[in-house]
């Protein structure tokens, strides 16, 4: 009876050894990776490495003639030419400075074109805005556009008043931005009391506010201008024959030359 438990213990040990052997076999027997899959994985790693290397590979910019990373290049639309972004920005700025809004590829006779929307990703905000404003101005006909004459405004305006037959010519107008009056025909601040024809005959220095005020005063006082030196002359008394300080003689009534005092003025009362 004592031998029976002994036999059972031996059977259990044998069974335990077999289970361990089976587990060990399962651990060792791993499924091998097919050669095709291994090759595909290798290509993936190799391709990714190649792309990263290409993005930093330098190229020679034909404008600045300096090596630049490929990720700093900018392709011209419509052709195969490309340059560094810094040079493209400088190229656009130089064209805008020359009042050119239709900007072509730097290569002569190349069909490539730089457009505002195409370049918006690389342009600084101030350059983008300047180009946009220039494009807006270019679509307005030259004779229809002008700027507010007040220097602290200078807004772009359009003269929509007609000058054709049956149309009223616009003169006095108000700037929609600074709300100040100006003359749309003379393109100057409003010259109250002086018509456009008279104003346009004034010298450049007479068109300022002070000059207009002086002319209004001269008209009120009855002063006359010397036809030669353009200085104002005031007659206190005497005849209409006047000799200016520049030694030029003229008729005080009509302004005609009167060197020998023989001028017969049609405005003089006889």
Task: Pull the structure tokens for residue 83.
Answer: 């340059």
148 with 117, same domain: the answer is no
pLDDT number for residue 4: 54
Position 35 scores a pLDDT of 53
Residue 64, in any domain of the structure? yes
Residue 7 counted as domain residue: no
**Higher pLDDT residue, 224 or 17?**
224
Q: Which residue has the higher pLDDT, 113 or 42?
A: 113
* One domain for residues 149 and 193: yes
**How far, CA to CA in Å, does 69 sit from each of 39, 90, 91, 124?**
31, 18, 19, 20
**Which of 156 and 210 is assigned the larger pLDDT?**
156
Question: Residue 46: which pLDDT band, with cuts at 50, 70 and 90?
Answer: very low
Do 194 and 231 share a domain, yes or no? Answer: no
Going along 139-260, which residue ranges are E strands? 145-147, 156-158, 172-174, 181-183, 188-189, 224-225, 232-233, 241-243, 249-251
* pLDDT classification of 242: cutoffs 50, 70, 90: confident
The answer on 166 and 91 residing in a single domain is no
Looking at mean pLDDT, say which of 156-160, 210-214, 220-224 comes out highest.
220-224
Domain residue limits at 106: 55-138
CB count, 10 Å around CB of 108? Answer: 6
Instruction: Evaluate whether residue 233 is within a structural domain.
Output: yes
The DSSP line for 99-154 is T--SEEPSSTT---EE-HHHHTTTS-HHHHHHHHHHHHHHTS-GGGEEE-SSTTT-
Give the total number of structural domains in the chain. 3
The pLDDT mean for the chain works out to 76
Do the domain assignments include residue 43? no
pLDDT tens-digit series, residues 177-218:
999 999 888 888 888 777 888 777 777 666 666 667 777 777
Find the DSSP H helices in the chain: 3-28, 35-55, 85-97, 116-119, 125-138, 196-200, 209-221
Same domain, 116 and 162: no
Mean pLDDT of 32-47: 44
Q: What's the sign of the alpha-carbon dihedral 111, 116, 117, 123?
A: positive
Residue 8 counted as domain residue: no
- Classify residue 248: in a domain, yes or no: yes
Question: What confidence tier does 99 reach under pLDDT thresholds 50, 70, 90?
Answer: confident
CATH of residue 100's domain is 3.30.40.10
In a domain, 173, yes or no: yes
Choose the final residue of a domain: 118, 138, 158. Answer: 138
pLDDT above 80 for 53: no
Q: Is residue 151 part of a domain?
A: yes
Q: What is the mean pLDDT of residues 118-139?
A: 88
Instruction: Provide the token pair at 251.
Output: 């008729």
Whether residue 142 has pLDDT greater than 50: yes
Same domain, 109 and 159: no
């Amino acid at each position: 009876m004592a031998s029976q438990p002994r036999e059972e213990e031996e059977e259990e040990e044998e069974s335990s050894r077999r289970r361990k052997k089976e587990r060990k076999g399962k651990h060792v027997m791993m499924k091998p990776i097919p050669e095709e899959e291994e090759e595909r994985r290798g290509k993936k790693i190799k391709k990714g490495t190649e792309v990263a290397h290409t993005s930093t590979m330098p190229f020679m910019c034909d404008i600045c003639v300096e090596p630049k990373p490929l990720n700093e290049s900018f392709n011209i639309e419509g052709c195969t030419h490309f340059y560094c972004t810094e040079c493209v920005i400088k190229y656009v700025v130089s064209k805008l400075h020359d009042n050119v809004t239709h900007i072509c590829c730097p290569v002569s006779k190349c069909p490539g074109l730089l457009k505002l929307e195409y370049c918006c990703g690389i342009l600084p905000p101030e350059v983008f805005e300047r180009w946009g404003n220039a494009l807006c101005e270019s679509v307005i006909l030259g004779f229809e556009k002008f700027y507010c004459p007040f220097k602290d405004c200078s807004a772009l305006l359009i003269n929509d008043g007609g000058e054709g037959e049956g149309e009223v010519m616009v003169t006095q107008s108000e700037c929609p931005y600074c709300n100040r009056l100006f003359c749309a025909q003379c393109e100057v601040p409003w010259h109250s009391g002086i018509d456009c024809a008279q104003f346009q005959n004034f010298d450049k220095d007479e068109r300022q506010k002070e000059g207009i005020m002086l002319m209004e005063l001269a008209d009120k006082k009855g002063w006359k201008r010397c036809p030669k030196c353009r200085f104002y002359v005031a007659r206190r008394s005497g005849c209409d024959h006047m000799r200016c300080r520049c030694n030029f003689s003229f008729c005080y009534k009509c302004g005609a030359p009167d060197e020998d005092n023989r001028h017969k003025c049609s405005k003089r009362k006889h």
